[in-house]
Structure 1
Amino acid sequence: MDTENIVVEFKTKTSLSKKLIPLILMLFVIAADQITKQLIVKFIPLTFPPSIGSSFFGDFLRIIHVCNPGIAFSIGQGWSLTARAFLFRIVPLVVIILVLIVYFRNDEFSSLQRWAIAGIAGGGLGNLIDRFFRKEGVIDFIDVKFYGIFGMDRWPTFNVADAAVVLCGILLLTSFAFTVKKSNSNKEA
Protein backbone atom coordinates (compact mmCIF):
# COMPACT_ATOMS: atom_id res chain seq x y z
CA MET A 1 0.00 0.00 0.00
CA ASP A 2 1.49 3.35 -0.99
CA THR A 3 1.44 6.51 1.10
CA GLU A 4 -1.19 8.19 -1.09
CA ASN A 5 -3.69 5.40 -0.34
CA ILE A 6 -2.86 5.59 3.37
CA VAL A 7 -3.52 9.37 3.37
CA VAL A 8 -6.87 8.90 1.55
CA GLU A 9 -7.89 6.13 3.97
CA PHE A 10 -6.93 8.28 6.98
CA LYS A 11 -8.92 11.27 5.65
CA THR A 12 -11.94 9.02 5.04
CA LYS A 13 -11.82 7.61 8.59
CA THR A 14 -11.31 11.09 10.08
CA SER A 15 -14.23 12.47 8.06
CA LEU A 16 -16.49 9.61 9.15
CA SER A 17 -15.57 10.01 12.83
CA LYS A 18 -16.33 13.77 12.60
CA LYS A 19 -19.79 12.78 11.40
CA LEU A 20 -20.39 9.95 13.86
CA ILE A 21 -19.19 11.50 17.14
CA PRO A 22 -21.89 14.25 17.24
CA LEU A 23 -24.53 11.52 17.01
CA ILE A 24 -23.72 10.86 20.67
CA LEU A 25 -25.74 14.01 21.38
CA MET A 26 -28.64 12.63 19.35
CA LEU A 27 -28.65 9.44 21.41
CA PHE A 28 -28.29 11.41 24.66
CA VAL A 29 -31.27 13.65 23.81
CA ILE A 30 -33.43 10.63 22.93
CA ALA A 31 -32.46 8.85 26.17
CA ALA A 32 -32.93 11.93 28.39
CA ASP A 33 -36.27 12.69 26.75
CA GLN A 34 -37.65 9.18 27.12
CA ILE A 35 -36.35 8.71 30.68
CA THR A 36 -37.85 11.99 31.88
CA LYS A 37 -41.17 11.17 30.21
CA GLN A 38 -41.23 7.76 31.89
CA LEU A 39 -40.61 9.42 35.26
CA ILE A 40 -43.43 11.90 34.66
CA VAL A 41 -45.85 9.13 33.66
CA LYS A 42 -44.86 7.09 36.72
CA PHE A 43 -44.90 9.81 39.39
CA ILE A 44 -47.31 12.57 38.28
CA PRO A 45 -50.92 11.65 37.57
CA LEU A 46 -52.53 12.79 34.33
CA THR A 47 -55.40 15.03 35.44
CA PHE A 48 -57.36 17.95 34.05
CA PRO A 49 -56.47 20.59 34.94
CA PRO A 50 -52.91 19.25 35.24
CA SER A 51 -51.71 18.54 38.75
CA ILE A 52 -48.44 20.19 39.69
CA GLY A 53 -45.71 17.70 40.55
CA SER A 54 -43.21 20.33 41.70
CA SER A 55 -42.68 24.10 41.54
CA PHE A 56 -39.36 25.91 41.42
CA PHE A 57 -38.52 29.60 41.86
CA GLY A 58 -42.01 30.38 43.12
CA ASP A 59 -44.27 29.43 40.25
CA PHE A 60 -41.78 30.30 37.49
CA LEU A 61 -41.06 26.64 36.66
CA ARG A 62 -43.55 23.87 37.28
CA ILE A 63 -43.36 20.17 36.48
CA ILE A 64 -46.76 18.89 35.36
CA HIS A 65 -48.10 15.99 33.27
CA VAL A 66 -49.97 16.73 30.05
CA CYS A 67 -50.39 14.81 26.81
CA ASN A 68 -50.33 16.51 23.45
CA PRO A 69 -51.93 14.59 20.56
CA GLY A 70 -51.05 17.50 18.24
CA ILE A 71 -47.73 19.16 17.49
CA ALA A 72 -46.13 22.33 18.88
CA PHE A 73 -48.59 24.52 20.79
CA SER A 74 -51.20 21.70 20.48
CA ILE A 75 -51.77 22.49 16.80
CA GLY A 76 -53.91 19.81 15.17
CA GLN A 77 -55.14 18.03 18.28
CA GLY A 78 -58.72 18.15 16.96
CA TRP A 79 -57.83 16.74 13.53
CA SER A 80 -58.78 13.23 12.41
CA LEU A 81 -56.56 10.31 13.41
CA THR A 82 -55.59 9.71 9.77
CA ALA A 83 -54.55 13.33 9.20
CA ARG A 84 -52.60 13.42 12.48
CA ALA A 85 -50.90 10.08 11.73
CA PHE A 86 -49.72 11.29 8.34
CA LEU A 87 -48.77 14.85 9.27
CA PHE A 88 -47.32 14.18 12.73
CA ARG A 89 -45.68 10.78 12.20
CA ILE A 90 -44.86 10.12 8.55
CA VAL A 91 -43.89 13.63 7.42
CA PRO A 92 -41.54 14.30 10.39
CA LEU A 93 -39.97 10.84 9.99
CA VAL A 94 -39.27 11.54 6.30
CA VAL A 95 -37.86 14.98 7.16
CA ILE A 96 -35.53 13.54 9.82
CA ILE A 97 -34.33 10.86 7.40
CA LEU A 98 -33.64 13.52 4.74
CA VAL A 99 -31.79 15.69 7.30
CA LEU A 100 -29.60 12.74 8.29
CA ILE A 101 -28.89 11.94 4.62
CA VAL A 102 -27.75 15.53 4.04
CA TYR A 103 -25.80 15.38 7.32
CA PHE A 104 -23.76 12.39 6.13
CA ARG A 105 -23.32 13.51 2.51
CA ASN A 106 -22.25 17.07 3.29
CA ASP A 107 -18.60 17.62 4.15
CA GLU A 108 -18.97 21.39 4.58
CA PHE A 109 -20.81 21.51 7.93
CA SER A 110 -18.70 22.81 10.79
CA SER A 111 -18.32 20.77 13.95
CA LEU A 112 -20.77 23.08 15.75
CA GLN A 113 -23.32 22.68 12.96
CA ARG A 114 -23.00 18.88 13.12
CA TRP A 115 -23.62 18.89 16.89
CA ALA A 116 -26.63 21.19 16.45
CA ILE A 117 -28.11 19.00 13.71
CA ALA A 118 -27.60 15.93 15.91
CA GLY A 119 -29.45 17.67 18.77
CA ILE A 120 -32.35 18.61 16.48
CA ALA A 121 -32.56 15.06 15.12
CA GLY A 122 -32.49 13.64 18.66
CA GLY A 123 -35.33 15.90 19.74
CA GLY A 124 -37.35 15.06 16.66
CA LEU A 125 -36.85 11.33 17.19
CA GLY A 126 -37.68 11.64 20.90
CA ASN A 127 -41.10 13.09 20.11
CA LEU A 128 -41.64 10.65 17.23
CA ILE A 129 -41.20 7.76 19.64
CA ASP A 130 -44.14 9.17 21.62
CA ARG A 131 -46.22 9.68 18.48
CA PHE A 132 -45.68 6.11 17.35
CA PHE A 133 -45.85 4.32 20.71
CA ARG A 134 -48.02 6.41 23.06
CA LYS A 135 -51.71 6.43 22.15
CA GLU A 136 -52.25 9.60 24.21
CA GLY A 137 -49.62 11.53 22.22
CA VAL A 138 -46.46 13.34 23.23
CA ILE A 139 -45.80 13.72 26.95
CA ASP A 140 -45.07 17.34 27.92
CA PHE A 141 -44.15 18.39 31.44
CA ILE A 142 -42.06 21.58 31.63
CA ASP A 143 -44.33 24.55 32.38
CA VAL A 144 -42.75 28.03 32.52
CA LYS A 145 -44.26 31.37 33.52
CA PHE A 146 -44.28 33.83 30.60
CA TYR A 147 -45.42 36.98 32.44
CA GLY A 148 -48.14 37.98 29.97
CA ILE A 149 -45.79 38.31 27.00
CA PHE A 150 -47.80 37.79 23.77
CA GLY A 151 -50.87 37.57 26.02
CA MET A 152 -49.69 34.28 27.58
CA ASP A 153 -49.40 33.85 31.33
CA ARG A 154 -47.48 30.57 30.80
CA TRP A 155 -45.46 29.30 27.85
CA PRO A 156 -46.99 26.18 26.22
CA THR A 157 -45.85 23.09 28.12
CA PHE A 158 -42.87 21.31 26.54
CA ASN A 159 -40.38 18.48 27.12
CA VAL A 160 -36.66 17.69 26.77
CA ALA A 161 -37.01 16.87 23.06
CA ASP A 162 -38.73 20.20 22.36
CA ALA A 163 -36.04 22.08 24.28
CA ALA A 164 -33.29 20.32 22.31
CA VAL A 165 -34.94 21.14 18.97
CA VAL A 166 -35.38 24.82 19.86
CA LEU A 167 -31.95 25.37 21.45
CA CYS A 168 -30.04 23.45 18.77
CA GLY A 169 -32.14 25.10 16.06
CA ILE A 170 -31.20 28.56 17.34
CA LEU A 171 -27.56 27.47 17.56
CA LEU A 172 -27.65 26.10 14.00
CA LEU A 173 -29.29 29.22 12.52
CA THR A 174 -26.85 31.47 14.37
CA SER A 175 -23.95 29.38 13.09
CA PHE A 176 -25.23 29.59 9.52
CA ALA A 177 -25.67 33.38 9.86
CA PHE A 178 -22.07 33.80 11.03
CA THR A 179 -20.84 31.50 8.24
CA VAL A 180 -22.65 33.60 5.60
CA LYS A 181 -21.37 36.83 7.17
CA LYS A 182 -17.81 35.49 7.23
CA SER A 183 -18.13 34.29 3.61
CA ASN A 184 -19.37 37.71 2.49
CA SER A 185 -16.51 39.44 4.36
CA ASN A 186 -13.96 37.19 2.65
CA LYS A 187 -15.45 37.97 -0.80
CA GLU A 188 -15.21 41.71 -0.18
CA ALA A 189 -11.56 41.53 0.90
Structure 2
Amino acid sequence: MKRTFARYLPFTLTVLIAALDQFTKYLVVTRIPYHRVGWSFGGDLVRIIHTTNKAGAFSLGRTLPEPVRIFLFLFVPVVLLVGILVYFFRSDELSSLQRWALAGILGGGVGTLIDRFFRDAGVVDFIDVKFFGIFGLERWPTFNIADASIVVCSLLLLISFFIEMRKDSKERDHEQEA
Protein backbone atom coordinates (compact mmCIF):
# COMPACT_ATOMS: atom_id res chain seq x y z
CA MET A 1 0.00 0.00 0.00
CA LYS A 2 1.40 3.39 -0.95
CA ARG A 3 2.01 6.02 1.68
CA THR A 4 -1.08 8.02 0.89
CA PHE A 5 -3.58 10.07 2.82
CA ALA A 6 -5.83 7.00 3.13
CA ARG A 7 -3.04 5.15 4.93
CA TYR A 8 -2.87 7.82 7.64
CA LEU A 9 -6.58 8.60 7.88
CA PRO A 10 -7.11 6.03 10.68
CA PHE A 11 -5.11 8.30 12.99
CA THR A 12 -8.18 10.54 13.06
CA LEU A 13 -9.78 7.72 15.06
CA THR A 14 -6.77 7.68 17.40
CA VAL A 15 -7.17 11.39 18.09
CA LEU A 16 -10.97 11.15 18.35
CA ILE A 17 -10.88 8.31 20.88
CA ALA A 18 -8.19 9.91 23.03
CA ALA A 19 -10.05 13.25 22.99
CA LEU A 20 -13.46 11.68 23.70
CA ASP A 21 -11.94 9.60 26.49
CA GLN A 22 -10.36 12.64 28.15
CA PHE A 23 -13.46 14.81 27.64
CA THR A 24 -15.78 12.24 29.24
CA LYS A 25 -13.36 11.78 32.13
CA TYR A 26 -13.25 15.55 32.60
CA LEU A 27 -17.06 15.64 32.77
CA VAL A 28 -17.13 12.82 35.32
CA VAL A 29 -14.40 14.32 37.52
CA THR A 30 -15.95 17.81 37.52
CA ARG A 31 -19.62 16.81 37.88
CA ILE A 32 -19.81 13.61 39.92
CA PRO A 33 -18.44 13.29 43.46
CA TYR A 34 -15.91 10.50 43.93
CA HIS A 35 -17.49 7.05 44.43
CA ARG A 36 -20.97 8.37 43.67
CA VAL A 37 -23.38 7.46 40.90
CA GLY A 38 -24.09 10.45 38.69
CA TRP A 39 -26.62 8.95 36.29
CA SER A 40 -28.40 5.63 35.79
CA PHE A 41 -29.93 4.22 32.63
CA GLY A 42 -32.39 1.35 32.41
CA GLY A 43 -32.90 1.31 36.17
CA ASP A 44 -29.44 0.27 37.29
CA LEU A 45 -28.45 -1.55 34.07
CA VAL A 46 -25.84 1.11 33.21
CA ARG A 47 -24.58 3.64 35.71
CA ILE A 48 -22.14 6.51 35.37
CA ILE A 49 -20.04 6.50 38.52
CA HIS A 50 -16.84 8.34 39.42
CA THR A 51 -14.02 6.03 40.43
CA THR A 52 -10.29 5.64 39.78
CA ASN A 53 -7.90 2.77 39.31
CA LYS A 54 -4.10 2.75 39.72
CA ALA A 55 -3.84 -0.86 38.59
CA GLY A 56 -4.60 -2.67 35.35
CA ALA A 57 -7.82 -4.08 33.99
CA PHE A 58 -10.09 -5.52 36.70
CA SER A 59 -7.79 -3.80 39.26
CA LEU A 60 -5.17 -6.48 38.64
CA GLY A 61 -1.88 -5.48 40.22
CA ARG A 62 -3.29 -3.02 42.75
CA THR A 63 -1.31 -4.68 45.57
CA LEU A 64 1.99 -4.72 43.68
CA PRO A 65 4.81 -2.46 44.89
CA GLU A 66 4.86 1.00 43.25
CA PRO A 67 8.02 0.38 41.14
CA VAL A 68 6.49 -2.79 39.69
CA ARG A 69 3.22 -0.97 38.91
CA ILE A 70 5.16 1.85 37.21
CA PHE A 71 6.99 -0.69 35.06
CA LEU A 72 3.85 -2.70 34.20
CA PHE A 73 1.40 0.16 33.72
CA LEU A 74 3.62 2.93 32.31
CA PHE A 75 6.72 1.49 30.70
CA VAL A 76 5.24 -1.67 29.14
CA PRO A 77 2.23 0.15 27.58
CA VAL A 78 4.51 2.81 26.07
CA VAL A 79 6.67 0.08 24.53
CA LEU A 80 3.57 -1.70 23.20
CA LEU A 81 2.16 1.49 21.66
CA VAL A 82 5.50 2.24 20.01
CA GLY A 83 5.53 -1.34 18.69
CA ILE A 84 2.04 -0.89 17.25
CA LEU A 85 3.12 2.37 15.57
CA VAL A 86 6.19 0.72 14.05
CA TYR A 87 4.08 -2.19 12.78
CA PHE A 88 1.49 0.24 11.40
CA PHE A 89 4.09 2.18 9.42
CA ARG A 90 6.29 -0.70 8.29
CA SER A 91 3.65 -3.20 7.22
CA ASP A 92 2.30 -2.96 3.72
CA GLU A 93 0.10 -6.00 4.27
CA LEU A 94 -2.38 -4.54 6.73
CA SER A 95 -5.93 -4.21 5.47
CA SER A 96 -7.85 -1.00 5.91
CA LEU A 97 -9.89 -2.57 8.74
CA GLN A 98 -6.69 -3.67 10.48
CA ARG A 99 -5.26 -0.14 10.24
CA TRP A 100 -8.46 1.34 11.72
CA ALA A 101 -8.46 -1.28 14.50
CA LEU A 102 -4.83 -0.52 15.36
CA ALA A 103 -5.65 3.20 15.37
CA GLY A 104 -8.50 2.54 17.82
CA ILE A 105 -6.18 0.55 20.08
CA LEU A 106 -3.65 3.40 19.93
CA GLY A 107 -6.36 5.93 20.84
CA GLY A 108 -7.40 3.91 23.86
CA GLY A 109 -3.79 3.41 24.89
CA VAL A 110 -3.06 7.13 24.62
CA GLY A 111 -6.18 7.98 26.65
CA THR A 112 -5.15 5.61 29.41
CA LEU A 113 -1.53 6.76 29.42
CA ILE A 114 -2.60 10.40 29.75
CA ASP A 115 -4.35 9.43 32.98
CA ARG A 116 -1.43 7.34 34.21
CA PHE A 117 1.05 10.18 33.64
CA PHE A 118 -1.07 13.17 34.66
CA ARG A 119 -3.70 12.02 37.19
CA ASP A 120 -2.28 11.25 40.62
CA ALA A 121 -5.46 9.38 41.60
CA GLY A 122 -5.04 6.98 38.68
CA VAL A 123 -7.12 6.18 35.62
CA VAL A 124 -10.66 7.55 35.79
CA ASP A 125 -13.28 4.82 35.26
CA PHE A 126 -16.98 5.59 35.07
CA ILE A 127 -19.06 3.12 33.01
CA ASP A 128 -20.62 0.58 35.37
CA VAL A 129 -22.74 -2.19 33.81
CA LYS A 130 -24.95 -4.77 35.53
CA PHE A 131 -23.69 -8.28 34.72
CA PHE A 132 -26.48 -10.40 36.24
CA GLY A 133 -24.22 -12.80 38.13
CA ILE A 134 -22.41 -14.05 35.02
CA PHE A 135 -18.95 -15.34 36.03
CA GLY A 136 -20.00 -14.57 39.61
CA LEU A 137 -20.12 -10.82 38.91
CA GLU A 138 -23.17 -8.74 39.71
CA ARG A 139 -21.54 -5.79 37.95
CA TRP A 140 -18.82 -5.75 35.31
CA PRO A 141 -15.66 -3.95 36.50
CA THR A 142 -16.03 -0.22 35.89
CA PHE A 143 -14.36 0.99 32.69
CA ASN A 144 -14.04 4.02 30.39
CA ILE A 145 -14.02 4.98 26.69
CA ALA A 146 -10.33 4.08 26.28
CA ASP A 147 -10.88 0.61 27.76
CA ALA A 148 -13.89 -0.01 25.52
CA SER A 149 -11.95 1.13 22.47
CA ILE A 150 -9.02 -1.15 23.22
CA VAL A 151 -11.28 -4.17 23.73
CA VAL A 152 -13.56 -3.59 20.72
CA CYS A 153 -10.70 -2.74 18.36
CA SER A 154 -8.60 -5.68 19.58
CA LEU A 155 -11.52 -8.02 18.84
CA LEU A 156 -11.94 -6.46 15.40
CA LEU A 157 -8.24 -6.89 14.74
CA LEU A 158 -8.29 -10.56 15.80
CA ILE A 159 -11.37 -11.27 13.69
CA SER A 160 -9.77 -9.56 10.68
CA PHE A 161 -6.59 -11.64 11.08
CA PHE A 162 -8.67 -14.85 11.22
CA ILE A 163 -10.57 -13.78 8.11
CA GLU A 164 -7.30 -13.03 6.28
CA MET A 165 -5.80 -16.37 7.36
CA ARG A 166 -8.88 -18.22 6.16
CA LYS A 167 -8.86 -16.34 2.85
CA ASP A 168 -5.13 -17.10 2.37
CA SER A 169 -5.73 -20.76 3.19
CA LYS A 170 -8.52 -21.01 0.60
CA GLU A 171 -6.32 -19.31 -2.01
CA ARG A 172 -3.49 -21.81 -1.35
CA ASP A 173 -5.96 -24.69 -1.62
CA HIS A 174 -7.18 -23.39 -4.99
CA GLU A 175 -3.58 -22.96 -6.22
CA GLN A 176 -2.70 -26.53 -5.19
CA GLU A 177 -5.78 -27.89 -6.99
CA ALA A 178 -4.82 -26.14 -10.22
State the TM-score bracket (shorter-chain normalisation). Answer: over 0.9
Matched, 1:120 2:108: no
Which residue number in structure 2 is paired with residue 91 of structure 1?
76
Question: TM-score scaled to structure 1, two decimals?
Answer: 0.90
CA distance in 1, matches of 2:33, 2:66: 25
Q: 2:139 aligns with which of 154, 165, 182?
A: 154
- For 2:89 and 2:125, locate their aligned partners in 1 and report how far apart those are by CA, in whole Å: 31
Q: Which residue identity does 1:185 align to in structure 2?
A: K
Gapped runs of 5+ residues in structure 2? none
TM-score by length of 2: 0.95
2:82, 2:173 → 1: CA distance? 37
Residue of structure 1 in register with 2:166 after alignment: 181
The residue that corresponds to 1:163 in the other structure is 148
Aligned to 2:53: 68
- In 2, Cα distance between the equivalents of 1:16 and 1:94? 26
3-state SS of 1:53 partner: strand
Offset at 1:121? Answer: 0.7
* Aligned equivalent of 2:14: 26
**Alignment match of 2:41 (pick from 29, 37, 56):** 56
What displacement does 1:61 show?
A: 0.3
Distance 2:53 2:158 in 1: 27
- Identical residues among aligned pairs (%): 51
TM-fit CA distance, 1:19: 2.4
Q: 1:42 aligns with which of 6, 21, 30?
A: 30
Which residue in the other structure is 1:16 paired with? 4
Secondary structure of the corresponding residue to residue 20 of structure 2: helix
**Per the alignment, in what secondary structure is the counterpart of residue 65 of structure 1?**
strand
Of 63, 69, 76, the residue aligned with 1:78 is: 63
Shift >4 Å, 4+ stretches: none
Map Cα deviations across residues 90-117 of structure 1 (whole Å, 9 max, x no partner): 1100110011011000010000100000
Which residue does 1:8 correspond to in 2?
none
* 1:110-159 CA distance string (max 9 Å, x none): 00100000000110110011001111110000000000000000000000
Question: For each residue in 1:10-45, what CA deviation from the matched residue of structure 2 results, as whole angstroms up to 9, or x when unmatched?
Answer: x74xx2323211000000000000000010000011
Greater CA radius of gyration, 1 or 2?
A: 1
Give the secondary-structure state (helix, strand or coil) at the position aligned to 2:4. helix
Alignment partner, residue 137 of structure 1: 122
Alignment RMSD, CA only?
1.0
* Count of matched residue pairs: 174
Letter in 2 for 1:34: Q
Structure 1: which 5+ residue stretches go unaligned? 1-10
The one-letter code matched in structure 2 to 1:182 is: K
